[in-house]
Chains A and B, each alone.
Chain A
Amino acid sequence: MPEVSQTAAASRTARRSDRDRWWRRMRRDWWIYLFLLPTIVGYGLYTVYPLVASWWYSFLDWPGFAQRGTFIGLENYERLISDELFWNAFTNSFIFLLIGLPLRVGLGLVLAYLLSRKAVKFRTGFRTLFFLPVVTTGAIIGMVYTLVLDSTGPVNRILTGVGILDQPIDFLGDPDTSLFAAIGVWVWKWVGITMIYWLAALQTIPQELYEAAQLDGANAWQEFRRITLPMLVPFLIIITLIDAVAAFNVFDLIQTMTAGGPTFSSEVIEIFIYRTAFETTVPQLGYASAAAVLFGLAAAVIAVVQGLGAAAARKRMVRS
């Protein structure tokens, strides 16, 4: 018993000591927290609150025009599970990710590598050209590409002109090609920013390594394979994560190019959510929120897997 009392007393003392330290730190550094307050409030209001609110809304039958919804438990989720159009949008979003992400990350790396080499002339001009679509509004690009990719547009004229196609294809109006055409436009629009990430990453590689390799007689491919790529692995993880998040934010582009059609062939999850929330006879905010939550969970799983992959990659690098 005395031992127990001593332990409890020690524990109380330790807690008091912690509390004292915390108060001391607060008295000393209070202004730091004051300056952090706007960020914390802003993050709470505009990120945490909507996130938590959408979880709550997902349990409501909320037709939008009502001030508040009715709690219906998991009914929205049960309905979603059996909603073929939800799974269609879910699948389309992942197809978008699986095809668009490697293309964007890979092309960005190739462009950055080429445009970082001194042998390439007009590098700055090319970098600007590739970056220009990034600063152009997605909706504008969507509208322009609607004309570029339609059956009477320049792409079809070229493809039929050189004999690759027998008949023009309305790339965005054909259910077989609409999603892939949208992916292509997305990669084209955003590859410039990925290229900038890679350029920044390439500048972190010490020049001496290349010089040493050249002394050893390494050619350009060997330099890339043996020096550049291994040194870029940590950046690859970060860039992939950033671009993966971007691949789930394609609303403006898809809405202006295809609006998810034809017949849902290019409907990604954001369009599904928008359609169920705002474009039905009776707005279904609870149902749309449930779709957002379910998809958010799937995206979180991807982020976790990616994080684990990053940790494993770092460990391997440290060992080697």
Chain B
Amino acid sequence: MQIKGKAWKFGKNIDTDAIIPARYCNTADPEKLAPHCLEDADPDFVKKMSAGDIVVADENFGCGSSREVAPITIKAAGISAVVAKSFARIFFRNSINIGMPIFESEEAVYSIDEGDEISIDPTAGVLTNHTKNTTHQLEPFPEFLQDIISLGGLRYWVEERLKSAA
């Protein structure tokens, strides 16, 4: 999926209860979860956003619960990437594992305003702000994680290991 869309800005410490409240977690079905994406941070978010849009947040995005349905919900709602100053660690792992594109950059988050048109080239690690005509370098992932990402997610890392063990 191409990462290109409008930026929606959120503050710091957006927790997993704000991303997908536990009251909706009596199902793990992505289609049922998607309409409630970020509902407790902005009740109208799903109505306002379009497929491909990008969530831009301050520090510690995804703190709180280990619920994997948090990145699953964001992905199912049609968000193409989350850019934050930093991520809570379980949300970070979950996003890598399920193939939800996430990127860290203090500078980019600082410069983006809500509604800016953004695109991201994940291979080059570059974010372009088309509204402001600026580009920003994104934090590169450690080599170990790049391997998992390039395989296509944790599933393929596990399958390779199962194969070599067999």
> Do A and B come from the same complex?
no
Residues of B bordering A, CB below 8 Å: none
